[in-house]
């Protein structure tokens, strides 16, 4: 299977073979490095927002490393606060571009992630492959300079201040979010909207309409939204349940056996779309530079989509269906999917998936057929799609099938995600255009 193959690509490339006896493509090599970083995110139980931030900086660093060789136009001046890399040209001569790009991904993973030391095994394997090349020492020195400078940009995004923000206090009232079973986890990153955006003018730039207000009366619009969740769950068919599970992507899922709780390792929503980007790059047999470009453009777009989504989540602070249905309809009811530990409105999957679909469609065209095997390693079957937009639509409605979102949170999330995606593509038009032309 593709996922398992990619995990060992870096180890096998030294002998110029992969499963099937062929040399790995450039796209496979890059996707394999990103997968190494993803695996450590799984270990660290990176939240959806944290994962999107990691992907953005890892792929930005790789992009800017590529730009040093003249293959891509730097993102300097196009992202808030990013002044580009200051690297003397003499440092770039006699270095290996391919190693520099791949090594940047690994080194950034080491520096960014809480368990970054776990990436080092992959870094050492990569360096072993290139150990006999005379260019390797200078390449390593170049990458160290790049990572140091990107980390300086990282350190100014406001993340370091989050722990000093006021502690979140659960609001009183039936209409407000509160922790859910089984783990009753604290809310995830309530101040994420304070982070520096990459391209959005502000976290509030594409503010959704206010959610339908809580109202327990049976004639109310809100009650009808709640009942739809309940009814959909009761009559859900096999296909709908498969869709819900395929797009679950809940890093915080917990299985409870007796008095013991076990964490279930699952990829983040952004990680799923980064996986789709990798599938597309490999399918199109892109070269290394264009593969880096796809990952960077997508990851940066996803990072701001999550900042925007989280801004709305903690503004509206709306209660999840689980609490409402148990109070008003069925005390024993549980959603198909485990409720994530943050407010309901808007649907993060809807925002992220639709932003991602717009971005990938701007690169590959929307009518792009592919087999999504991103979730195979988590025991789920492959799903086939004929377009990015159809995948985004399925991801969005999966939250209703899963019993964790109301319809208006999905609809407004779709709107928000598409608007963010369209704005991003327009603002970064020169980069999307250069991809289409195959050069800078």
User: Domain range spanning residue 298?
Assistant: 2-437
The CATH code of the domain that includes 395 is 1.10.606.20
pLDDT in the model for residue 260: 57
pLDDT at 137 over 80: yes
Nearest to 65 by CA among 242, 57, 216: 57
What's the sign of the alpha-carbon dihedral 342, 347, 353, 357? negative
Confidence tier at 436 by pLDDT (50, 70, 90): confident
Query: What is residue 363's predicted lDDT score, i.e. its pLDDT?
Result: 97
Task: Give CA separation, 123 vs 95, 133, 224, 289, in Å.
Answer: 17, 16, 53, 20
**Total-model pTM:** 0.94
Residue with tokens 């249905």: 325
H/E stretch holding 122? helix 120-129
How do residues 176-195 score in pLDDT, each as one tens digit? Answer: 999 998 889 999 999 999 99
- 3-state SS assignment for residue 41: helix
Residue 67 pLDDT exceeds 70? yes
Q: How confident is the model over 296-324, as pLDDT tens digits?
A: 999 999 999 999 999 999 999 999 999 99
Contacts of 323 (CB under 8 A, 6+ apart): 174, 178, 180
Proportion of the chain above pLDDT 70, given as a percent: 92
5-9, 174-178, 382-386, 405-409, range with the lowest pLDDT: 5-9
Say what percent of the chain tops pLDDT 90.
Answer: 89
Q: How confident is the model at residue 19 (pLDDT cuts 50, 70, 90)?
A: very low
Mean model confidence pLDDT for the chain: 93
pLDDT in tens, 32-56: 999 999 999 999 999 999 999 999 9
335-384 pLDDT tens trace: 999 999 999 999 999 999 999 999 999 999 999 999 999 999 999 999 99
Number of domains in the chain: 1
Distance of CA 4 to the CA centre of its chain: 20
Give Cα separations from 166 to 191, 316, 368 (angstroms).
9, 18, 45
Residue 26 exposed, middle or buried by CB count within 10 Å (0-12, 13-18, 19+): buried
Average pLDDT over residues 199-228: 98
């Amino acid at each position: 299977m593709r996922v398992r193959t990619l995990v060992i690509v870096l180890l096998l490339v030294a002998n110029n073979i992969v499963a099937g006896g062929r040399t790995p493509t450039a796209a496979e090599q890059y996707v394999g490095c990103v997968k190494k970083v993803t695996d450590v995110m799984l270990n660290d139980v990176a939240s959806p927002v944290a994962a999107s931030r990691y992907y953005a900086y890892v792929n930005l660093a790789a992009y800017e490393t590529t730009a040093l060789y003249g293959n891509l136009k730097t993102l300097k001046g196009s992202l808030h606060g990013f002044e580009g890399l200051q690297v003397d040209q003499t440092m770039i001569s006699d270095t290996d571009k391919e190693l520099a790009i791949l090594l940047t991904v690994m080194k950034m993973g080491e520096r960014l992630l809480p368990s970054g030391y776990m990436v080092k095994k992959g870094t050492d394997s990569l360096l072993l492959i290139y150990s006999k090349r005379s260019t390797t020492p200078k390449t390593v020195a170049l990458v160290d300079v790049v990572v140091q400078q990107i980390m300086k940009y990282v350190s100014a995004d406001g993340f370091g201040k989050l722990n000093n923000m006021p502690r979140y206090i659960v609001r009183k009232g039936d209409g407000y979010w509160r922790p859910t079973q089984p783990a009753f986890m604290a809310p995830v990153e309530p101040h994420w909207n304070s982070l520096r955006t990459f391209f959005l003018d502000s976290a509030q730039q594409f503010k959704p309409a206010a959610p339908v207000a809580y109202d327990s009366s049976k004639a109310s619009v809100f009650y009808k939204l709640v009942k739809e969740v309940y009814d959909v769950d009761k009559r859900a068919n096999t296909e709908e349940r498969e869709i819900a599970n395929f797009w679950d992507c809940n890093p915080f899922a917990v299985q409870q056996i007796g008095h013991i709780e076990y964490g279930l390792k699952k990829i983040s929503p952004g990680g799923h779309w980064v996986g789709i980007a990798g599938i597309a790059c490999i399918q199109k047999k892109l070269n290394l530079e264009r593969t880096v470009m796809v990952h960077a453009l997508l990851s940066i777009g996803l990072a701001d989509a999550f900042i925007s989504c989280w801004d709305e989540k903690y503004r509206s602070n709306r209660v999840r269906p689980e609490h409402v249905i148990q109070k008003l309809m069925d005390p024993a009811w549980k959603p198909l999917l485990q409720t994530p530990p943050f407010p309901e409105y808007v649907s993060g999957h809807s925002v992220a998936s639709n932003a991602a679909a717009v971005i990938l469609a701007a690169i590959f065209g929307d009518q792009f057929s592919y087999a999504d095997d991103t979730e195979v390693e988590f025991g789920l079957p492959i799903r086939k799609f004929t377009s990015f937009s159809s995948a985004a639509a399925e991801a969005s409605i999966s939250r209703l099938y899963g019993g964790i979102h109301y319809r208006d949170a999905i609809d407004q999330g779709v709107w928000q995600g598409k608007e963010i995606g369209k704005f991003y593509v327009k603002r970064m038009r020169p980069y999307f255009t250069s991809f289409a032309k195959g050069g800078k």
